[in-house]
Structure 1
């Protein structure tokens, strides 16, 4: 059969001089499942970086924009901080090419990896290169690697499943033999140089453990012990790991002792020489939440596994003190219920010096003239360690007084602003709103047309209607036109939203309206209108309102339209 006449496409490029080769704005993406400890080898962060950067340098059409690195993140899902940051840069147009060492570094989940390579990246116009796999989406369609790539993804995915099962089985076997398999030894112990699965007393921290138990037997509480250790400058468990170089995580650098540290140590039977492992366990491969607290009957217990730091009598005495304190506390519950008041400022009050949340503490006394019960807000940093922060001791009655005056003034101002908005809204804005709606409808039609043309290009390429170079040229054109229309539509939409927000439907008006007639503070009122309360020395307060910026914006808009 004779070939039919080819369709004429109005966008078919006319013969011109050879176009200049495109320069790709390139991201180098690096991933390692276990946090890089600096050990030598090819599959390290530094090894991947060197390989990728050398490859990019050899390619004349690649220009390195940024290196993205997820150190210590699994490849079985894409919930990784630097990967998400890279994809955000892709969506903003900063990146249009991604280079990785191999497909397994990009991801080991077959379905998600294939979705990125076969759907998401082509739609966004992103080139993808896996150096060691010789895979490049610019040439994959024309070589056998376009067929090999899905198979390699399946292999990577299967490998992760298999290795996960084998590792779990091996760990459980070691735990049942009494071998310690934790990343870090418990505070007070070190891993033996001769056998890394055996714990031995740490000469630096073991005396601290013994002192903690001795102080407990003397009657000190958890907070009192923590405060004493912090005052002497004794490194907390996290700070000790950082100082010794066992952990490189900056969050541990300046951690101090807290009451929960002391509580955990005092009830941990590891200091009796016993191992209790498997308390937290992986549920299954690729679960969204991978860990769970295992019930006690699933723990792997091995007694007399190492040298104890505390004798049975001392440990039992510490448990009796904790049990007695808990009993006294539970008996005291309810004695002053008739005097208690709800917390109105939950999660809103912070220290102006250390930025930590202030804690609400009650004071209850019995006196000859009756009972008194009131609340103070204290800086927990200064409570834990003297001198670590300036003490804050703000009475809740003072806080209520200042916040009440601030909110009432704010509500009066918002009510007046809403009244002014109603006077000018319809008269001044209706014409502009109708113009914006017409322009948005036109841009929507352009978006729909370009998307339809873009989606039909591939079918024309497969049917032989257009050649590959024509396909690429027209695809680039339609994508550019689509993005232009999308930019104009988004700008118009933002303007429409700005107009809407300056009218009666403004969220500030809707949030404040139910409280115009409220005379006393309630938790709902405070949580709706206040975002943060910062306390400085001398009980000086800085109250941040949820809608303070919105108030200024609407007031400025109304002044503008009133003068127009």
Structure 2
């Protein structure tokens, strides 16, 4: 067509695979730069939608930019040629082009909603997985990358921080996820070329540790976009996610994942001024004021290591007591209590399960089933409304349904869907909470059995089993100094072993200062 109009020096601009809704397209931008520089006299397009599907921006081009720069516009299919005068239908065609994009976007959102609620993964597989060649909707383990993921979780439970792990991986020249994908020919966005293929950073490690997908789950709707014109993905509230458990093969055991999540964000790595770390750092809290206990050396005898309340008034805080506790005392007490707990689990299994789970499990299970049934009914109605909306839209386009009737019906459906969304959100949050409690209880029982033969206290054992330890200030009882501790275990809290069961608390004593002996006394659970 351009040659027929007498133009011979032609330049082609393409933007294949990029939505016309956005005007920020490489080919389009290049064309506009050349037009602004006066390097062309005419623009030929198949139709106006090729310029873009943004009514305002395309209108600005056709009404202002092209006339100001004396540029001829020819839209072949739309029968528009500005050399022949203004075309009154051009603005209407631009509006229809944008409506078309809006309609496609709406239908795609409905389609994605149906797929996402059916358990189909809505995004590419994370590092450690790849698409099944026989079924692209299914993820399978990418063993080479999965080994790195397992190592990240293992090192975290062994007490390594994210910066340490990143440094070790960089030194060992392990490919970053982006570099690994590119080596395998997988096209994924990222900045590995700027950082280098082996330059791991702590944010990458943190991201890996946060992915529940490694348990074998599918998590849909983690992000959303505000409109079809704005492609930026925003983080969605967790209660709006749709989670399907045990869909594909797990890389990380759920128990391990849950343990890591409970530890993330807590300060585990506090050091003394001399730089030493201690495995109890971040675990100990003051029983009176709730502040963390800080790790110290005895200045006169560096072999004596201890913790005390960071909020003690002697250090300009508000707590009235130091809550001093020796590290060697803690090690003996905690190891002794863990051994006592494992004996409780192995020798008195029924009583142990009752103590951990409680008597309300059956009632909670029944309640959970009722809520799950209600949730399925709400989701079914939500999907039904999506189908009804598509139907009335098609009827409206074909003329079977008037605009007025369509507006009233679509408004009613949208109001009902809004109410359903609120109910589904609240119900899913309740079910997730119940499932989490039940799941983590079972995991804790299996973890306790794992340490039945424990002979030494390790950072991993602490991380897996213990949430926090409340430290009471030592006090004199019947002429004897006693140090009370209350251990809160992950997922289940503090556990009291019934007095009738012959498993006495560990007998631990320590000399805190010359002539003074402090004995361990377990703290009972209030109420």
What is the TM-score normalised by the length of structure 1?
0.44
